[in-house]
């Protein structure tokens, strides 16, 4: 292709690929299939290979990372990257104190109006300054000491959420400040993959983000799943500044930069307190870590008037939440056996208050992880609890380790036993896996208890009242050995259990009886097949239509099910090849546990097949799970957040921000009555 034509085509491809990148990484609304994206990317690569002079710094092909660097060059910030004051008082009085200081500095009396504030999240990542010249990213630098940071441009180019060229925004200079972070789901997925390969894992999402950006090899940074949110400005030339901080963020979003949706313009101390409380309630559900919120005087003119004191702005403050990391000591290392036989070392610790609760134990994940961190009895450790995440030991404070003498620790390294601590069956660890497993199966009481709890869980057979303590009694007294035994229980046997009243026993028997009628997807999920979660169980039910077809399918046929790969297919085939599993299923059928069969892909003709729904608020008569089941039974999908790819939002009372976003995007909104009419068509 002639150079002139190649240049025009390359420019067109770059713009198109970045539009798809923005839709995928920022809006969570993919616009084309992956295969089509790859085709466009390869076409651009071919053009740039044929004409190397066409390669530009804003080309999507430059995101893969360049050659390893000898070190990071220093970058002098044109506008200092100063830190903000931290309010450690986590109560409402912390917000009131900030508001009182601002009013005092502005000379306001009690009778003067409330101040307008911008309230946003305090991300737990790495602060970055992005310098765009004429709309193109030319440099990225860390905060450093506030005056001088490090040039990390190559690594920042690998973060797909950061645009290499701004959208219709070409001021001579626009420095954007924000946070590079790693979401909790991405962090867990990355670590799980690393454990499976026997490689080192990341300590926590914050260290993962900071360590990734400070990798001297950009190719390694490109492998890490990093995200970014913009929250402010550095040097600006030739760009009309809006009047408020909130409007600045809106303008940055219009330029194609990701800006967090969890922000608000509020009035006075009461508005700050309400925002702090609202985010605290949502904190556990956020897909990323925060350690507080940030309050800023919204008016840029008032910010300038307030100025700085000791290198901190008077017009902003970080209002913290309780710490999620703390120091404690390891008193013992015990082993837990899960329902699939997975053996997990658990550190039993001196009680410590962290993440809003008192923690006494923390997972060490597996033998490799325990040995890599070298956690031993008597060690002082940093323990972390974020939201609903199981507490984990982050690292050991080596200088506090108990020692026999100068060179010999008091306690030996952790070692996994060769037999199960519960049933004494042998322990196996496949070469390609990080997790060791007990081979005892249902013979092992620990696996039996786990299997029964999973079988009775809410998203499986939903047997109300069958919890940990009751299952423990049933297994320890040899009353129940398999899920089928639950349906043989009589009122007398239940009532004779310790601390079991006759009425409670009758309620549980009734719940067991009620669970006999279920769905095929729930039943498959309840069986506890390794690597088969709720979504895969639904895919299997939709694809095959009946259990016998699933049981008869070989690995090749199983891989024809959407999202079922070789590992999952092998797990399913292995499960149904075991005679004792077939026997349990036949016993359940004999006990009249039933589910309606359907033709494969029976939901294909449904008006909601393939449609994406978001549920928000409280519906008058349906629970969220009931509505979700109705949607999925007809081939629809339920998402957790609203985007351009959302087809319907089902909204109840107190719907909140999801409803607002749906209205802004023009997404169809249904109340419960309209929803029921749609699914009945």
Rounded to the nearest 5°, which phi and psi values hold at 383? -115, 145
pLDDT above 70 covers a percentage of the chain that reads: 94
What pLDDT score does 389 carry? 61
Question: Looking at the predicted structure, is the pLDDT value of residue 169 above 80?
Answer: yes
Residue reference for tokens 């208890």:
449
Checking if the pLDDT of 641 tops 90, the result is no
Residue 384, pLDDT above cutoff 90: no
* Phi/psi at 623 (5° precision): -80, 165
Query: What is the rounded end-to-end Cα distance, in angstroms, of the chain?
Result: 54
What is the number of alpha carbons within 13 Å of residue 22 lying toward its C-beta? 18
Report pLDDT digits (tens) over 457-507.
988 999 999 988 899 999 888 899 889 999 998 888 888 888 888 888 899
Q: What pLDDT sits at residue 313?
A: 92
Does position 63 have pLDDT exceeding 80, yes or no?
A: no
Q: For the beta carbon of residue 567, count every other beta carbon within 10 angstroms.
A: 11
pLDDT of residue 118: 97
109, with CB counted inside 10 A (0-12, 13-18, 19+), is exposed
Tell me if 470 sits within 8 A of 497, measured CB to CB: yes
Strand order, beta sheet including 637-639: 637-639, 612-616, 648-651, 668-670
Q: Where are the alpha helices (H) located in 198-231, listed in sequence order?
A: 205-213, 218-223
Decide if 544 contacts 550 (C-beta within 8 A): yes
Highest mean pLDDT among 231-245, 580-594, 634-648, 659-673: 231-245
Confirm if 373 and 191 have CB atoms less than 8 A apart.
no
Report, as an integer, the average pLDDT of 269-294: 90
Q: Which long-range contacts (CB under 8 A, 24 or more apart) does 670-674 make?
A: 672/619, 672/620, 672/621, 672/622
Banded model confidence at residue 24, pLDDT cuts 50, 70, 90:
low
The domains found in the chain, sorted by start residue, are 3-64 (1.10.287.610), 85-320 (3.30.470.30), 325-400 (2.40.50.140), 441-514 (1.10.150.20), 520-590 (1.10.150.20), 602-680 (3.40.50.10190)
pLDDT at 68: 52
- Rounded Cα distance, 315 and 299, in Å: 10
CA 48 to chain centre: 36
Mean pLDDT of all residues belonging to the chain: 87
588 CB neighbour count, 10 Å cutoff: 22
Token code pair at residue 3: 């150079």
- Conformation bin of residue 466: beta by default, left when phi > 0, alpha when psi is -120 to 50: beta
pLDDT band at 603; cut points 50, 70, 90? low
pLDDT 10s digits, 206-237: 778 888 887 777 777 788 889 999 999 999 99
User: Which DSSP state fits 536?
Assistant: H
| Residue 33 or residue 592, greater confidence | 592
- Res. 30 pLDDT band, cuts 50 70 90: low
Please check the confidence at residue 387 and state whether its pLDDT lies above 70: no
User: Which one has a higher pLDDT value, 284 or 106?
Assistant: 106
Choose, from 11, 39, 122, 373, the residue flagged as catalytic: 122
Q: What integer pLDDT is reported at residue 503 of this predicted model? A: 84
The predicted pLDDT at position 248 comes to 97
The token duo for 71 is 């070190």
As a whole number, mean pLDDT of residues 37-55 equals: 82
- Known active-site residue 122: yes
Q: In sequence order, what are the beta bridge partners of 308?
A: 313
Give the whole-angstrom CA distance, residue 606 versus residue 596.
Answer: 17
Q: In 107-213, where does DSSP find H-type helix?
A: 153-156, 184-197, 205-213
Find, among 544, 401, 33, the residue nearest to 536 by Cα: 544
- The predicted structure's pLDDT at residue 567: 83
Rg (CA), the chain: 29
- 411-415, 433-437, 445-449, 620-624: which has the minimum mean pLDDT? 433-437
**Distances from the Cα of 595 to the Cα of 114, 359, 516, 591, angstroms:** 60, 41, 8, 13
């Amino acid at each position: 292709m002639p150079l002139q034509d190649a240049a025009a085509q390359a420019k067109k491809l770059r713009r198109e690929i970045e539009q798809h990148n923005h839709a995928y990484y920022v809006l969570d609304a993919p616009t084309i299939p992956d295969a089509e994206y790859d085709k466009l990317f390869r076409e651009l690569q071919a053009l740039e290979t044929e004409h190397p002079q066409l390669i530009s710094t804003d080309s999507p092909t430059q995101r893969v990372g360049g050659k390893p660097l000898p070190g990071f060059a220093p970058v002098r910030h044109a506008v200092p990257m100063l830190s903000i004051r931290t309010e450690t008082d986590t109560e409402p009085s912390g917000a009131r104190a900030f508001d009182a200081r601002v009013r005092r500095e502005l000379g306001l009396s009690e009778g003067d109006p409330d101040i307008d504030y911008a309230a946003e999240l305090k991300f737990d990542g790495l602060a970055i300054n992005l310098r765009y010249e004429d709309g193109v990213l030319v440099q990225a630098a860390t905060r450093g000491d506030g005056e001088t940071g490090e040039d990390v441009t190559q690594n920042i180019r690998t973060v797909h959420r950061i645009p290499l060229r701004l959208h219709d925004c070409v001021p001579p200079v626009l420095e954007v400040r924000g946070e590079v972070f790693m979401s909790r789901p991405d962090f867990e997925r990355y670590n799980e993959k690393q454990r499976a390969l026997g490689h080192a894992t990341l300590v926590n999402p914050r260290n993962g983000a900071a360590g990734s950006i400070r990798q001297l090899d950009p190719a390694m940074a490109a492998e890490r799943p990093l995200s970014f949110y913009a929250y402010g400005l550095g040097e600006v030339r030739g760009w009309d500044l809006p009047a408020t901080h909130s409007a600045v963020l809106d303008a940055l979003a219009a330029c194609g930069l990701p800006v967090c949706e969890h922000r608000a313009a509020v009035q006075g101390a009461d508005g700050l307190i309400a925002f702090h409380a609202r985010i605290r309630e949502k904190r556990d559900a956020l897909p990323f870590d925060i350690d507080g919120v940030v309050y800023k005087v919204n008016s840029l003119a008032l910010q300038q008037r307030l100025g700085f004191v000791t290198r901190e702005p008077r017009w902003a403050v970080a209002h913290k939440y309780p710490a999620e990391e703390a120091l404690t000591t390891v008193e013992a290392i015990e082993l837990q056996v899960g329902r699939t036989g997975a053996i997990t070392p658990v550190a039993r610790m001196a009680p410590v208050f962290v993440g809003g609760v008192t923690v006494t134990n923390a997972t060490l994940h597996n033998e490799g992880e325990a040995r890599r961190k070298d956690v031993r009895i008597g060690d002082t450790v940093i323990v972390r609890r974020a939201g609903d995440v199981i507490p984990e030991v982050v690292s050991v404070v080596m200088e506090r380790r108990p020692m026999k003498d100068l060179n010999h620790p008091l306690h030996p390294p952790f070692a996994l036993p060769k037999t199960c601590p519960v049933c004494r069956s042998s322990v196996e660890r496949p070469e390609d896996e990080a997790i060791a497993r007990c081979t005892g199966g249902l013979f092992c009481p620990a696996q039996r208890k786990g299997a029964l709890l999973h079988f009775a869980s809410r998203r499986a057979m939903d047997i109300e009242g069958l919890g940990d303590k009751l299952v423990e009694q049933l297994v320890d007294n040899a009353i129940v050995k398999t899920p089928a035994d639950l349906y043989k229980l009589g009122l007398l046997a239940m009532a004779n259990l310790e601390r079991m009243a006759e009425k409670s026993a009758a309620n549980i028997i009734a719940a067991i009886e009620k669970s006999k009628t279920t769905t095929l997807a729930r039943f498959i999920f309840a069986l506890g097949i390794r690597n088969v979660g709720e979504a895969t169980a639904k895919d299997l039910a939709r694809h095959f239509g009946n259990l016998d077809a699933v049981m008869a399918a070989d690995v090749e046929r199983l891989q024809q099910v959407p999202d079922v790969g070789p590992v999952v297919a092998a797990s399913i085939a292995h499960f149904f090849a075991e005679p004792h599993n077939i026997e349990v299923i036949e016993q359940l059928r004999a006990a009249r546990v039933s589910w309606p069969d359907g033709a494969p892909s029976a939901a294909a003709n449904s008006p909601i097949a393939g449609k994406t729904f978001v549920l928000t608020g409280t519906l008058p008569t349906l629970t969220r799970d009931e509505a979700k089941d109705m949607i999925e039974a007809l081939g629809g999908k339920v998402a957790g957040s609203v985007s351009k790819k959302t087809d319907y939002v089902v909204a109840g009372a107190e719907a909140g921000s999801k409803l607002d976003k749906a209205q802004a995007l023009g997404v169809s909104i249904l109340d419960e009555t309209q929803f029921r009419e749609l699914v009945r068509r």
